């Protein structure tokens, strides 16, 4: 180029190109030239296009873009918060890399992210391309469930960062069935009108616009209530069939029952676990023995108060004969009616004391016949 001024605009260069410019003076007829001076410089790199922010988490966002035409040596990413404060800068990203997950960001934040193309000259950079982005809100902490028979109270600690509201979902665990869902701005809240002795799953999710946190959940059983009264359906010398009704407050719930018997005479206790049934047959019992039964509902680690019933197995009657031999130092003392009556009276008293202690504990009958 020839110019008669002390400046010139050089056009048609490649963006991001490294050029050496040489200038020398000439006389009017261009027959004589002065000594040249030269300077090198980069042209400004182009602007990245199609910048997109996606796949947000609580502390990261994925950026993707298309490189500009021309030469570049890398990219610079800047992150600004709502107050337009630069909170993060990443420099000298590989020129062939056009996507990046920006990490260590604040949760629940509204951010602006810009990407500029770079050349080796730190004073030359492209125009920024900017996109708005959001990080997901943080998870709740300290999720606690406090159950009663028909209610569950839910408490939690809100996360750091921004959020709008909380979604709290209640599911019947066994059926994986949603029972109720609520949205609330703060802890706590309560679910009411629940089934007693049932296991529920409570899930709490933080919401910020269309973004959601990772859900937090816990399980808990509502407190059990006693079953309907127990009764004896059948009995033999060694078996007793016990039945009861499911609590009306637990209809439709798969329940676990603890069925227990005790017998004072034999000093025995036995507990069986019955799942989702309302009858049980006790085998191997002692004949003619009174058994005390109780049935409880078990829910998690909690047990209801019991319903009770007592029943005696069919007695297996046997006759025991006692023969007594009398000897005395006094002649004819054993033949004396008074002596015989006195001995028999003491014997009767002994058996009465022993067996009267066991009234309603074991079957017995006492019949005296004097030979």
CB 113 within 8 A of CB 130: yes
Say yes or no: do domains 141-221 and 228-312 share a fold: yes
- What CATH number was assigned to the domain covering residues 141-221? 2.60.40.10
The class that CATH gives domain 1-135 is mainly beta
46 token code pair? 């182009």
282 token code pair? 């006790």
Sequential pLDDT tens for the chain (371 residues)? 888 899 999 999 999 999 999 999 998 887 888 899 999 999 999 999 999 999 999 999 999 999 999 999 999 999 999 899 999 999 878 888 999 999 999 999 999 999 999 999 989 999 999 999 999 999 999 999 999 999 999 999 999 989 999 999 999 998 888 999 999 999 999 999 999 999 999 999 999 988 999 999 999 999 999 999 999 999 999 999 999 999 999 988 999 999 999 998 889 999 999 999 999 999 999 998 999 999 999 999 999 999 999 999 998 877 777 777 777 777 667 777 777 778 778 877 887 777 665 556 777 666 656 55
Q: Which residues pair with 234 in a beta bridge?
A: 241
CA pair distance 120, 118, nearest whole angstrom: 7
CB 134 within 8 A of CB 54: no
CA pair distance 110, 229, nearest whole angstrom: 61
Domain boundaries, the chain: 1-135, 141-221, 228-312, 319-371
- What CATH number was assigned to the domain covering residues 228-312? 2.60.40.10
Q: What is the pTM of this model?
A: 0.74
């Amino acid at each position: 180029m020839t110019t008669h001024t002390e400046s010139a605009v050089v056009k048609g260069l490649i963006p991001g190109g490294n050029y050496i410019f040489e200038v020398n003076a000439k006389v009017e007829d261009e027959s004589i030239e002065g000594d040249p001076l030269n300077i090198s410089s980069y042209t400004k790199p182009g602007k990245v296009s199609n910048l997109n922010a996606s796949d947000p988490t609580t502390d990261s966002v994925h950026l993707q873009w298309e490189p500009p035409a021309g030469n570049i040596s890398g990219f610079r990413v800047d992150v600004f918060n709502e107050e337009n404060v630069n909170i993060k800068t990443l420099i000298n990203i590989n020129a062939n890399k056009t996507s990046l997950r920006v990490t260590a960001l604040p949760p629940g934040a509204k951010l602006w992210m810009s990407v500029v193309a770079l050349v080796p000259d730190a004073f030359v950079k492209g125009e920024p391309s900017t996109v708005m982005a959001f990080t997901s809100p943080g998870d709740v902490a300290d999720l606690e469930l406090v159950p009663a028979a028909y209610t569950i109270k839910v408490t939690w600690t809100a996360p750091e960062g921004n959020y709008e509201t909380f979604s709290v979902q209640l599911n019947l665990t066994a059926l994986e069935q949603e029972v109720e869902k609520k949205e609330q701005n703060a802890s706590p809240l309560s679910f009411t009108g629940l089934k007693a002795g049932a296991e529920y799953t409570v899930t709490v999710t933080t919401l910020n616009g269309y973004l959601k946190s990772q859900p937090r959940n816990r399980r808990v059983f509502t407190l059990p209530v006693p079953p309907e009264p127990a009764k004896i359906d059948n009995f033999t010398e060694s078996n007793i069939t016990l039945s009861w009704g499911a609590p009306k407050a637990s209809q439709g719930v798969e329940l676990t029952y603890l069925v227990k018997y005790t017998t004072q005479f034999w000093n025995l206790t036995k507990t069986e676990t019955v799942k989702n049934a309302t009858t049980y047959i006790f085998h191997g019992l002692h004949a003619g023995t009174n058994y005390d039964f109780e049935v409880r509902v078990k829910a998690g680690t909690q047990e209801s108060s019991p319903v009770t019933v007592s029943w005696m197995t069919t007695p297996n009657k046997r006759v025991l004969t006692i023969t007594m031999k009398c000897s005395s130092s006094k002649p004819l003392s054993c033949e004396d009616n008074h002596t015989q009556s006195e001995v028999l009276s003491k014997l009767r008293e002994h058996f009465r004391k022993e067996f009267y202690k066991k009234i309603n504990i074991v079957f017995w009958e006492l019949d005296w016949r004097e030979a």
